[in-house]
Amino acid sequence: MRHALIVIAAVAAIAACASPGLPPGGPTVSAFPRVIATLPETGAVNVRPNKVLVRYDDVIGEQAAGRPLARNVLISPWDGEPRVEWRRTGISVQPRTNWRANTAYTITVLPGLSDLRGQQIPYGYVLRFSTGATIPTSVIRGVAFDWIQNRALPKATILAIDTKDTSIVHLTVADSTGRFELGAVPAGRYLMRAIDERTPNRALDPREPWDTATITLLDSARTDLYVFVHDTTPARITEPRMLDSASIAIVLDKPLQPGVTIPETAARVLGADSLPVVVRSIVTGADERAARATADSLARTRDTSLRTPDANVPPRRTIDPMRRLDTLPVVAVPVPTRAAPSAELVIKLQRPLPVGATYRITLTGLRNLLGNSGTTSRLLIVPQPAPVDTTATAPSSRPPAQRRDSTARTIPTSTQPIAPLRPPR
């Protein structure tokens, strides 16, 4: 009996030692599936796989953000949407045609894959290998901007087209701050293109904003791209309105080239008597707003400089700029260095326009972003000035009503004396 108990205890001890468990210190599993292996490995050379395998440490979803997995994978050089298959804990990737010989490839899995709970993985993965003997170390960096909105353009499609062989197209996507990086690109001359895609096909479609630049790549190169809709038609007036009695605000249907001075002769204001009104100057809407803001700021400065500081007002508390309010990393958003185009003009006149009169406004020589110019004209009827409501601020001639003090004691009107209270017997 004692021998049997010893055998059972030994078997239980062996089973306990053989059973899998978490290492000391607690679990080390990520909140999202992570890439744990690839075939071929990143950095491999002289390989030509049938399929590239990317394996995760957990099961992933069969779609990415509600779309097929192929939309979430890029192969550079690009030959069309790749063939991507779901393999429960990973994916397999193939190009649309075949792997090129002696070519360095970059496979990018974009953020957006999901786990079994449907949560999207917030980060992507980049794998590089070569079917030849080397992987170039040269890289192209830059930022994509929305030129019209004057801001960085996230998720812009970036293409680097070899000018010697236009069938070789390197591809990537800008991040959430508009920054992009194309690695493992051989030295040469490339036509860079950024596209703000409306249709996600990694190609330029009509009416999609885009921009191009030509670069020469040795070991590294940088270029910023400013996308806009390439419209060849000249700008047209969509809305003229009075800014004040001697200023006309003009809204155009497309922006103009920034930094170009518009002469006074570009505008003609004719009344019903065919007599022109002298134009003093033409400025952009942005310049007019900046000038008015500067004037208002100077007026406020002059107003506050005349005030005597109140000794009872405590001084304003200053904040130490070196003091960190949190420990989260802050990613700076790039700022465009190119001036933003404007689709607004302000025509300043020599004299005020009479109320109710009709004028024809004609603009000539306005150049759009592609440099095309034309002539545009619209009618303007000078409106009546908005009535001012004086009832809200006018002082009343009636004297203010006297408020009755409800806390005052009421005095008896009777002349009889009030009998004192007798103590109880």
Query: What are the tens digits of pLDDT across the range 295-345?
Result: 887 877 776 655 555 555 555 554 444 444 344 456 788 999 999 999 999
In this structure, the answer to whether residues 149 and 247 fall within a common structural domain is no
Looking at residue 388, what is its pLDDT? 65
Q: What's CA 197's distance to the chain center, in Å?
A: 14
Write the pLDDT tens digit of every residue in 232-260.
999 999 999 999 999 999 999 999 999 88
Judge contact between 133 and 125, C-beta under 8 A: no
Q: What is the spatial distance between Cα 400 and Cα 128, in angstroms, rounded to a whole number?
A: 84
Whether residue 180 is found in the same domain as residue 255: no
Q: Are residues 129 and 270 in the same domain?
A: no
pLDDT at 43 > cutoff 50? yes
381, 272: one domain: yes
pLDDT confidence of residue 391: 65
Q: Which of 229, 224, 167 is nearest to 198 (CA)?
A: 229
Per-residue pLDDT of 133-168, as tens digits, reads 999 999 999 999 999 999 999 999 999 999 999 999
Average of per-residue pLDDT across 371-396:
79
Domain termination residue (choose one: 135, 159, 178) = 135
Q: Specify whether the CB–CB gap between 82 and 93 falls below 8 A.
A: yes
Taking Cα atoms as reference points, which of 75, 76, 100 lies closest to residue 84? 75
292 — pLDDT class (breaks 50, 70, 90): confident
Q: What is the 3-state secondary structure (H, E, C) of the chain?
A: CHHHHHHHHHHHHHHHHHCCCCCCCCCCCCCCCCEEEEECCCCCCCCCCCCEEEEECCCEEEEECCECHHHHEEEECCCCCCEEEECCCEEEEECCCCCCCCCEEEEEECCCEEECCCCECCCCEEEEEECCCCCCCCEEEEEEEECCCCEECCCCEEEEEECCCCCCEEEEECCCCCEEEEECCCCEEEEEEEECCCCCCCCCCCCCCEEEEEEEECCEEECCEEEECCCCCCCCEEEEEEEECCEEEEEEEEEECCCCCCCHHHEEEECCCCCEECEEEEEEHHHHHHHHHHHHHHHHHHHHHCCCCCCCCCCCCCCCCCCCCCCCCCCCCCCCCCCCCEEEEEEEECCCCCCCCEEEEEEEEEEECCCCEEEEEEEEECCCCCCCCCCCCCCCCCCCCCCCCCCCCCCCCCCCCCCCCCCCC
Query: Which of residues 7 and 220 earns the better pLDDT score?
Result: 220
Answer whether residue 317 is part of any domain: no
pLDDT given for residue 5 in this prediction: 40
Residues 288 and 216 in one domain: no
Q: Clarify whether residues 275 and 353 are in a common domain.
A: yes
C-alpha distances out from residue 244 to 164, 248, 272, Å: 58, 7, 20
CA–CA distances in Å: residue 349 to residues 243, 264, 355, 366 = 11, 10, 15, 19
Task: Say yes or no: 276 and 217 in one domain.
Answer: no
Residues 82 and 143 in one domain: no
Mean pLDDT, the chain, integer: 83
Confirm whether 144 is domain-assigned: yes
pLDDT for 118 equals 86
Q: What is the pLDDT of residue 26?
A: 38
Q: Is the pLDDT reported for residue 1 higher than 50?
A: no
Give how far Cα 110 sits from Cα of 64, 207, 299, Å.
9, 26, 52
Q: What Rg value do the Cα atoms of the chain yield, rounded?
A: 37
For residue 37, is pLDDT > 90? yes
pLDDT at residue 222 tops 50: yes
Task: Give the domain CATH number at 365.
Answer: 2.60.40.1220
The total number of structural domains that make up the chain? 3
Question: Quick one: 125 and 256 in the same domain?
Answer: no
Q: CB of 150 within 8 A of CB of 336?
A: yes
Q: What is the mean pLDDT of residues 262-273?
A: 93
More confident residue, 385 or 411: 385
In the predicted model, what is the mean pLDDT of residues 196-209? 92
Domain boundary among 135, 150, 172: 135
pLDDT at 116: 85
Distance of CA 380 to CAs 101, 225, 289, 355, Å?
67, 39, 22, 11
Token match 């404007």: residue? 342
**More reliable by pLDDT, 291 or 230:** 230
Are both 128 and 181 inside the same structural domain?
no
What pLDDT, on the 0 to 100 scale, is given for residue 425? 47
pLDDT of 31 > 80? The answer is yes
Domain range holding 242?
Answer: 231-296+340-385
Say whether pLDDT at 193 is over 90. Answer: yes
Asked if 346 and 247 sit in the same domain, the reply is: yes
**Any idea what the CATH number is for the domain that residue 166 is in?**
2.60.40.10
Whether residues 279 and 378 share a domain: the answer is yes
Q: How far apart are CA 367 and CA 342, in angstroms?
A: 11
Calpha distance 71→361 (Å, rounded): 50
The set of residues, in sequence order, having a beta carbon less than 8 Å from that of 416 and lying 6+ positions away, is: none
Within a domain: 424 = no
Is residue 26 domain-resident? no
Residue 22 covered by a domain = no
Over residues 182-206, mean pLDDT: 95
Q: Which of 124, 107, 118, 101 is nearest to 40 (CA)?
A: 107
Tell me if 140 sits within 8 A of 221, measured CB to CB: yes
Q: Retrieve residue 224's tokens.
A: 């910023």
Q: Lowest mean pLDDT: which of 16-20, 45-49, 114-118, 348-352? A: 16-20
CA–CA distance, 171 with 201 (Å, rounded to integer): 12
Q: What is the CATH number of the domain that holds 83?
A: 2.60.40.3710
Domain limit, last residue, from 135, 152, 181: 135
Q: In this structure, is residue 304 part of a structural domain? A: no
Quick check: is 391 in a domain? Answer: no
pLDDT at 407 over 90: no
Give tens-digit pLDDT for 71-94.
999 999 999 999 999 999 999 999
The C-alpha atoms of residue 160 and residue 168 are separated, in whole angstroms, by: 8
Tell me, yes or no, whether 8 lies in a domain.
Answer: no
Task: Report which residue type is found at 6.
Answer: I
Whether the CB-CB separation of 110 and 72 falls below 8 Å is answered with yes
